[in-house]
């Protein structure tokens, strides 16, 4: 149950017929978020290559910082002393921090294995880690029953994060929405490991909630559902986490792409309908439609800015590689009918030149377009729900987008 | 003689008593430049790490691109087809391009020797190059009587630039103010070489002027005075170049810091008073006062943005290194009374964090402050001339700036 008026207020404005999708409004101490919404990732309290005005002009409503990174640099106490992450980074709107669980996964089971939020399982044996061994190499994190110890990727210093510590750090960072500490598992882990990990995540959820209540303040705490690709575990987790007194929920995991929609559906059929749900770390166009159709309200993903910095640019007809020779002489904007700052002022020729010249403005201009593209795609999806045209819009958009991708 | 109303109009509003300094207005097809003025350097048609709005908000009136770089990448014909450098880079105000002469110097005599616009001559023998030899190594440029051949630093392709070619390239780039092709010499060259180089520069000036008239258009052409550190050569060059029908003048050279003020004075006592003068590539605060006192109207320099990207930040009490440990907890802006975007919105703690985290926004915020600092210092100097307070302002500023540097 949301404690209305106390921390957070989520109102559903409209539901999709014959699916779990909905449009709503999520109130936070720093303003309302119209959902579904795409959350811009500002890992180290900066959305890479953009200033907050550019983030805002792209249509962004809310920014998510990474607890793991900010704990190590500059340190959560500096962010606290600065007045919290929003004030520190000059972002006046709503903010979130994740719990650090995914970074633990990246440093542990997934370390050096080139797997991330979406994984193609070609050789599962590659993904199954040895755990609880005494060797530090090649992993930087070890998972115990009470928490996770890891070596800083910056200076090799040793840190130990428990659920209580994660919540304490997040209270120092001071975002409007924070997450319970969890363990993100690889989709290639065996069932026994998934069960053990899920038990830990559930115990850690309860401990996160207790610590959060103890510390007080006006942030909202979201619990995280895990369970890998197993239907029983996903449902078990949704029931357990959904029954705890969280203000909303995250859906975590490193997904095989083909598993994602079923996992999201299993979970959202169980989670209490009246609370917001955030699909963690997911944000490609086709995944946004899938998630929203299956009841997701919030998404975050580094893709728009990471792809942008690498010169991969979203268009309605699929992604383009701006350093392709043909764009050197192309004096049209990326998309003629795009309302973003980049498309209003620059040609593909100029942006290509900036990338060829390794100029910093290259990544900025491409990131602005990509962020605008994704943020506004979600806004259009929201409008299509309000207009009872979700499925038409989905077909129309994906037909053009996927066909050319 | 300036051909009034035809290309460019320079009006002197006020002269300093007992010195060569003056405040004026330089009219260009893309707007007026209040002089003295600091010109932001946008080497590859982008002021590094900034967008044009940020450049404008820092107070910048005019941007200078580098002919050598733009000729190689993206190519001057692409810039021409885009509508010229201003339109290409979305800078609506006045623009300049240099002639490529300094880059020839960097690739030739100075290549690999770590000397630049201002040189401390500790071991002059290091600076004296072998010239006209057949070996490509280690230099990338060879100077002949008709022009300069050089190897592209990008792909090793061979190019040959004559005065005519430089002017043709600059007409394609389409800036409001362009420069005659010249040879910039090292201050450590012997007199004989300086004399030969100066003869070349003078012949190239005449040829640049002829080509410029032939091509037509509405850009202004500035001739460049060279002559190294030798009084006779500097005066000879000022007389020769000053007598040609240029719209204004550049003062070129790689200076030993202690020679700069005398060289500038020698030259500006001779150049026709009614035309604007640009001290090429110079822009540290103490040099701005020196140049303005000695009759310079325009300056350009990469220092504000280059230093900014490296975390060195101008303040009225000298430069600070923002990655210094003491700034990690400093929740004040760089300068409390600074009107720049960076100081209005960010603390030293946040900027230091961005530098420690190697975030792109770090260089952007520091460059904004540095550019604002220098551009507005020149504006204040201009105002001090109008108010008959130049010498008081110079003493007041430099006492505080130098004392702490």
Q: What is the ipTM of this complex?
A: 0.93
Q: Tokens representing B8?
A: 């460019």
Measured between CA atoms, how close is A146 to chain B, in angstroms? 30
Q: How far apart are CA A76 and CA A168, in angstroms?
A: 9
The mean pLDDT of A20-49, rounded to a whole number, is: 98
**CATH architecture, domain A13-301:** Alpha-Beta Barrel (3.20)
Instruction: Output the 3-class SS for B200-254.
Output: HHHHHHHHHHHHHHHHCCCCEEEEEECCCCCHHHHHHHHHHHHHCCCCEEEECCC
Local confidence band at A395 (pLDDT 50, 70, 90 cut-offs): very high
- Residues B320-350 have pLDDT tens digits of 999 999 999 999 999 999 999 999 999 999 9
Task: Determine whether the interchain pair A45/B361 forms a contact, defined as Cβ–Cβ distance below 8 Å.
Answer: no
Residue B179 has pLDDT above 60, yes or no: yes
Measured from the Cβ of residue A80, the count of other Cβ atoms closer than 10 Å reads 16
Per-residue pLDDT at B109: 58
Residue indicated by tokens 């995914």: A102
Minimum distance, in Å, between the CA of residue A332 and any CA atom of chain B: 10
- pLDDT for residue A119 is more than 90: no
- Is some CB atom of chain B closer than 8 A to the CB atom of A198? no
Q: Which residues in A324-376 belong to E strands, given as ranges? A: none
- A90: closest CA of chain B, how far (Å): 6
* pLDDT value at A306 more than 80: yes
Give chain A's length: 405
pTM (2 decimals)? 0.93
B48 touches A at CB < 8 Å: yes
pLDDT digits (tens, 9 = 90+) for A219-258: 999 999 999 889 999 999 999 999 999 999 999 987 778 8
Q: Once rounded to an integer, what is the mean pLDDT over residues A99-110?
A: 71
Query: Among the residues of B25-156, which ranges form H helices?
Result: 52-57, 67-72, 76-81, 85-89, 101-107
User: Which site among A71, A353, A359 would you substitute to test the B interface, given the most B Cβ atoms closer than 10 Å to its Cβ?
Assistant: A353
**Token pair of A397, please?**
């958009």
A96 by DSSP, 3-state: which? strand
**A139/A110 Cα distance (integer angstroms):** 8
Select from B45, B350, B360 the Cβ nearest to the Cβ of A360.
B360
* B315 Cβ under 8 Å from any chain A Cβ: no
End-to-end CA distance of chain B: 42
Is residue B350 within 8 angstroms of chain A, CB to CB? yes
Catalytic residue among B98, B182, B259, B297: B98
**What DSSP character marks residue B62?**
-
A278: β partners: A250, A298
Any idea where the domains of chain B sit in the sequence? 9-104+162-301, 310-405
CB pairs under 8 A between A and B: 101
* Interface membership of B310 toward A (CB under 8 Å): no
- How distant is the Cα of B81 from the closest Cα of chain A, in angstroms? 8
Q: Is B98 a catalytic residue?
A: yes
Predicted pLDDT at A190: 87
Rounded Cα distance between A45 and A84, Å, is 10
Distance CA A21, CA A18 (A): 9
Asked if A23 contacts A385 with a C-beta cutoff of 8 angstroms, the reply is yes
Task: Tell me whether residues B350 and A48 touch, CB distance under 8 A.
Answer: no
A300 is catalytic: yes
Residue of B nearest to A88 (CA): B350
For the structural domain made of B9-104+162-301, what CATH number should be given? Answer: 3.20.20.105
Query: Strand A118-119 vs strand A141-143: parallel, antiparallel, or unpaired?
Result: unpaired
């Amino acid at each position: 149950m949301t404690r209305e008026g106390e921390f957070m207020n989520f109102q559903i404005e409209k539901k999709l017929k014959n699916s779990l999708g909905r449009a709503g409004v999520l109130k936070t101490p720093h303003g309302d978020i119209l959902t579904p919404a795409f959350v811009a990732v500002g890992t180290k309290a900066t959305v890479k290559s953009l200033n907050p005005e550019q983030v805002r002009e792209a249509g962004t409503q809310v920014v998510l910082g990474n607890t793991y990174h900010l704990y190590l640099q500059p340190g959560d106490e500096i962010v606290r002393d600065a007045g919290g992450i929003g004030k520190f980074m000059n972002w006046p709107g709503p903010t979130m921090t994740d719990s650090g669980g995914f970074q633990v996964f990246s440093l542990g089971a997934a370390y050096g294995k080139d797997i991330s939020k979406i994984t193609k399982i070609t050789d599962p044996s590659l993904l199954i880690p040895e755990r609880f061994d005494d060797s530090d190499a090649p992993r930087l994190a070890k998972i115990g029953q009470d928490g996770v110890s890891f070596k800083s990727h910056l200076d090799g210093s040793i840190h130990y994060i428990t659920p209580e510590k994660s919540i304490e750090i997040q209270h120092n960072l001071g975002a409007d929405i924070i997450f319970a500490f969890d363990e993100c598992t690889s989709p290639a882990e065996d069932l026994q490991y998934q069960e053990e990990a899920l038990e830990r995540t559930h115990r850690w959820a309860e401990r996160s909630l207790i610590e959060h209540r103890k510390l007080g303040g006006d942030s909202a705490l979201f619990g995280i559902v895990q369970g890998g690709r197993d239907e029983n575990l996903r449902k078990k987790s949704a029931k357990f986490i959904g029954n705890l007194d969280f203000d909303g929920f995250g859906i975590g995991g490193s997904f095989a792409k083909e598993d994602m929609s079923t996992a999201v559906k299993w979970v959202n059929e169980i989670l209490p309908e009246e609370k917001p749900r955030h699909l963690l770390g997911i944000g490609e166009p086709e995944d946004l439609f899938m998630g929203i159709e299956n009841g997701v309200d919030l998404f975050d993903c580094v893709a728009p800015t990471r792809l942008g910095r690498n010169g991969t640019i979203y268009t309605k007809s699929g992604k383009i590689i701006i350093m392709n020779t043909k764009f050197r002489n192309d004096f049209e904007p990326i998309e003629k009918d795009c309302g973003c700052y980049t498309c209003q002022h620059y040609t593909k020729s100029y942006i290509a030149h900036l990338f060829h010249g390794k100029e910093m403005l290259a990544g900025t201009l491409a990131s602005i377009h990509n962020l605008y593209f994704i943020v506004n795609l979600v806004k259009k999806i929201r409008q299509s729900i309000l207009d009872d045209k979700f499925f038409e819009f989905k077909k129309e958009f994906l037909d053009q987008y996927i066909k050319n991708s």
